[in-house]
């Protein structure tokens, strides 16, 4: 085995979940700095004196919530892999700036004359964009440097190990250095998996850890593990090496559950146990559902005449359509939405999901879908307790019946209430094939397994960002 020529990692390592926290807190601090700068410039512009306490520099309370709105506009940039890509970072910040500018311009035009500042918000958006870009470029420079990357060795060169290599190669920039594999099958030693070498058997694990400065072991053994390999892994853990099962590392990298690489008993042994949440979370979630859906119903009543007129002028009646969907535990309920497709969308009576460029979608319907306005009537279902604000998409019983025949664990998404928005909705687009449905289910199961109030708020913020940026799915 040749000696490694790559830089050795420093003593501290930051995982993806910690990087998300760093990004969120730092962006929020940067946004409040931009707010302070905009207030200072605002005071100078009208010659009120460079002070925040001037009686005339007295913006409304909503002005101080601009940093939170900026975070919502940046919602999709809290994926650590997206955040390490310079091109996606520049595009993401530019879109957030443009979305904020357009929305404020529209609000400014319809607001009473003199009720809103002309330059305060614009200054905030400009400085938020510039300061966030400067911080994000610094973040990229630090967290993509070889010295800060973890060094990972995979135990097991079978199907799960091969899938892990494919996931690793799909991520750019690389989240860590994949050193290679070890496997106790002597016929595999010296071969490659997706260009990564199978270095040796588990007996050489200790030497490899020392030689290659390994920081993490990913366990990709799906069958029975022999006692010698198990002991070598325990020894490595005692030396400070992080030991992570392949499914957990898959979840950390993609924020999805790898359903193709899980055994059937996982659903009972692991998923069902981890999917349980405490009663306090359920109470708070229901409270949030009631508050948000009440606001949603008010908005729905206000916008209904305008949307109804747009739908009628393009394609006639009906304005709303009703469908049966499956709720928690498969319990059916009626859902109402603004009609976004032609009246003959399913003239053959065959249920089929919408596709990305579905010709059945009208022009008004396309706008309603991008802004999620078509789902405003769902607020009534949330108030009734049939749905939640955040959860898996409410699906039709006949489609569930079809998907569960080809997608493992599909009915597991019925363990929670469906939602108006959700983890799969903000991360993945339309599904047209069983493989795409499987990927979307992986996001749904990750949410069910990991859900908490912070994650719910994150999904809501990202949805707001998609709505303002017309990126609804």
Here the CATH number for the domain that contains residue 243 is 3.40.50.720
- What's the pLDDT at 428? 82
Is 9 inside any structural domain? no
- Domain of 154? 150-254
C-alpha distances (whole Å) from 306 to each of 238, 310, 316, 379, 466 are 65, 6, 14, 18, 22
Is residue 10 one of the residues assigned to a domain?
no
Q: Do 399 and 318 sit in the same domain of this protein?
A: yes
pLDDT value of position 1: 44
DSSP symbols for 367-414: HHHHHTGGGTTHHHHHHTTS-EEESSBPB-HHHHHHHTTTSTTGGGGG
Residue 456 and residue 319 share a domain: yes
At 53 the pLDDT is: 40
291 lies in the same domain as 378: yes
Q: What is the DSSP string of 184-236?
A: S-TTTTT-EETTEEEEE-GGGHHHHHHHHT--EEEE---SPPPHHHHHHHHHH
264 assigned to some structural domain: no
C-alpha to C-alpha distance for 258 and 445, rounded to whole angstroms: 9
C-alpha–C-alpha distance, residues 392 and 444, integer Å: 6
Q: Would you state the structure tokens that stand for residue 331, as one six-digit string?
A: 């319990």
Q: Are residues 232 and 365 in the same domain?
A: no
Residues 391 and 308 in one domain: yes
**Separation of alpha carbons 44 and 22, rounded Å:** 33
Other beta carbons less than 10 A from residue 291's beta carbon: 11
Do residue 401 and residue 445 come from a single domain? yes
In a domain, 36, yes or no: yes
**pTM (2 d.p.):** 0.73
Residue 71 forms part of a structural domain: yes
Same domain, 126 and 203: no
**Between helices 453-468 and 279-315, what is the axis angle to 10°?**
20
Do 128 and 35 lie in one domain? The reply is yes
Could you please report the per-residue DSSP string of 74-131?
A: TGGGGSHHHHT-HHHHHHHHHHHHHHHHHHHHHHHHHSPTTSS-SSHHHHHHHHHHHH
283 located within any domain: yes
pLDDT for 326: 93
Query: What are the φ/ψ torsions at residue 178 (nearest 5 degrees)?
Result: -90, 110
Same structural domain for residues 394 and 417?
A: yes
Least Cα distance to 24 among 469, 317, 457 occurs for 457
pLDDT in tens, 445-469: 999 888 888 888 888 877 877 776 6
Give every residue of the chain whose pLDDT is below 70, as ranges. 1-16, 45-59, 114-115, 263-275, 345-357, 429-430, 432, 468-473
Say if residue 23 is in the same domain as residue 96.
yes
Total structural domains within the chain: 3
Q: Report pLDDT digits (tens) over 369-393.
A: 888 888 899 999 999 999 999 999 9
186 with 62, same domain: the answer is no
Q: CA–CA distance from 15 to each of 18, 210, 362, 467 (Å)?
A: 5, 21, 44, 30
Domain boundary among 211, 238, 254: 254
Query: What integer pLDDT is reported at residue 54 of this predicted model?
Result: 43
- Alpha-carbon gap, residue 200 to 208, rounded angstroms: 9
**Cα–Cα distance, 422 to 473 (Å, whole number):** 11
Query: Of 124, 143, 162, which one is at a domain's C-terminal end?
Result: 143
187: left (phi over 0), alpha (psi -120 to 50) or beta: alpha
Instruction: Establish if 265 belongs to a structural domain.
Output: no
The answer on 189 and 161 residing in a single domain is yes
Within a domain: residue 387? yes
Question: Domain end: 143, 174, 206, which one?
Answer: 143
């Amino acid at each position: 085995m040749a000696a490694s020529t790559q830089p050795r990692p420093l003593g501290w390592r930051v995982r993806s979940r910690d990087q998300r926290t760093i990004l969120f807190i730092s962006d929020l601090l940067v946004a409040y700095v931009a707010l302070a700068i905009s207030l200072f410039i605002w005071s100078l512009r009208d010659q009120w004196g460079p002070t925040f306490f001037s009686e005339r520099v007295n913006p409304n309370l909503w002005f101080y919530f601009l940093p939170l709105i900026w975070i919502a506009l940046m919602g999709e940039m809290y994926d650590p892999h997206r955040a390490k890509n310079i091109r996606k970072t520049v595009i993401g910040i530019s879109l957030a700036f443009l979305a904020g500018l357009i929305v404020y311009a529209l609000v400014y035009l319809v607001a009473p004359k003199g009720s809103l500042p002309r330059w305060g918000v614009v200054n905030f958006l400009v400085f938020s964009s510039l300061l966030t870009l400067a911080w994000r470029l610094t973040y990229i420079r630090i967290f993509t440097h070889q010295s800060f990357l973890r060094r990972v060795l995979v135990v097991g060169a079978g199907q799960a190990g091969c899938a892990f290599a494919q996931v690793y190669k799909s991520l750019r920039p690389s989240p860590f250095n994949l050193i290679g594999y070890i496997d106790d099958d002597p016929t595999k030693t010296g071969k490659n998996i997706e260009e990564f070498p199978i270095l040796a058997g588990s007996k050489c694990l200790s030497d490899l850890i020392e030689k290659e400065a390994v920081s993490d072991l990913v366990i990709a053994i799906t069958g029975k593990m022999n006692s010698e390999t198990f002991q070598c892994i325990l020894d490595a853990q005692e030396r400070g090496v992080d030991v992570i099962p392949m499914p957990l590392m898959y979840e950390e990298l993609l924020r999805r559950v790898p359903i193709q690489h899980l055994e059937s008993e996982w659903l009972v042994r692991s998923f069902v146990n981890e999917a349980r949440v405490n009663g306090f979370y359920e109470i708070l979630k229901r409270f949030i559902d009631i508050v948000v859906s009440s606001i949603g119903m008010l908005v729905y009543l206000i916008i209904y005449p305008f949307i109804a007129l747009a739908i009628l002028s393009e394609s006639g009646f009906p304005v709303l359509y009703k469908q049966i969907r499956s709720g928690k535990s498969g319990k059916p309920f009626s859902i109402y939405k603004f009609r976004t497709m032609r009246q003959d969308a399913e003239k053959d009576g065959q249920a089929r999901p919408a596709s990305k460029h579905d010709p059945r979608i009208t022009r008004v319907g396309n706008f309603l879908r991008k802004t999620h306005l078509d789902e405003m009537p769902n607020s009534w279902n949330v108030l009734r307790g049939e749905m939640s604000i955040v959860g898996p998409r409410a699906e039709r019983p006949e489609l569930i019946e079809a998907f569960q025949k080809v997608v493992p664990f599909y009915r597991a998404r019925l363990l929670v209430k469906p939602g108006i928005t959700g983890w799969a909705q903000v991360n993945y687009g339309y599904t047209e094939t069983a493989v795409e449905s499987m990927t979307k289910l992986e996001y749904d199961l990750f949410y069910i397994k990991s859900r908490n109030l912070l994650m719910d708020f994150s999904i809501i913020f990202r949805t707001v960002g998609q709505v303002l940026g017309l990126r609804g799915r």
